Amino acid sequence: MLPPFNPDHEGDAAPAELEHFAELVTRADGLIIAAPEYAHGIPGVLKNALDWLVSRPEIPGKPVLLVHASTRGLFVREHLSEVLRTMSVRLFDTAPFELHLIGTSPEAANAILDRADVVERIRLSIEGFAAFAVDCADLDT
């Protein structure tokens, strides 16, 4: 688990957990971030992880897709978009992906996720994001 962000612990003083996390981000062709909304904001653990990446080379230009398991999380989407743009990611925001699963049991959520129309929406969203990530990689070569 990443410790609380401290800019005095960047560089040579970086915690081992950060190197592992940063390596995973480096290896990813794109990031899919699915986050709940807490008190109209970004969950603290996610913001902490993003703060560790702000000054590092792994994140600028990285393709990112935001996914929400609620159709209510409008504040967190706005906040995350702003933070991620400030971190110079390439946000795939032409079609934000939302499913309303909040308040459903695991069984009911699985039944929704098994529906043909939902499977098709997920497929189209992932395919669109994959094509976006390929375009981003082409821009970098």
Q: What is the CA radius of gyration of the chain?
A: 16
- 3 state DSSP class of 61: coil
Among 18, 21, 37, 133, binds ligand FMN (CB under 6 A): 37
Which residues 6+ apart lie within 8 Å of 8 measured at CB? none
**Least distance CB 111 / ligand FMN (angstroms):** 15
- Among 2, 5, 31, 38, interactor with ligand FMN by CB under 6 A: 38
Q: Which of 4, 36, 60, 61 binds ligand FMN (CB under 6 A)?
A: 36
Q: How far is the CB of 108 from ligand FMN (least distance, A)?
A: 10
Cβ-Cβ contacts under 8 Å for 24 (sequence gap 6 or more): none
**CA 64 – CA 66 distance, rounded (Å):** 7
Is 85 a binding residue for ligand FMN by CB under 6 A? The answer is no
Please report, as ranges, the residues that interact with ligand FMN according to CB under 6 A. 36-40, 70, 72-73, 102-103
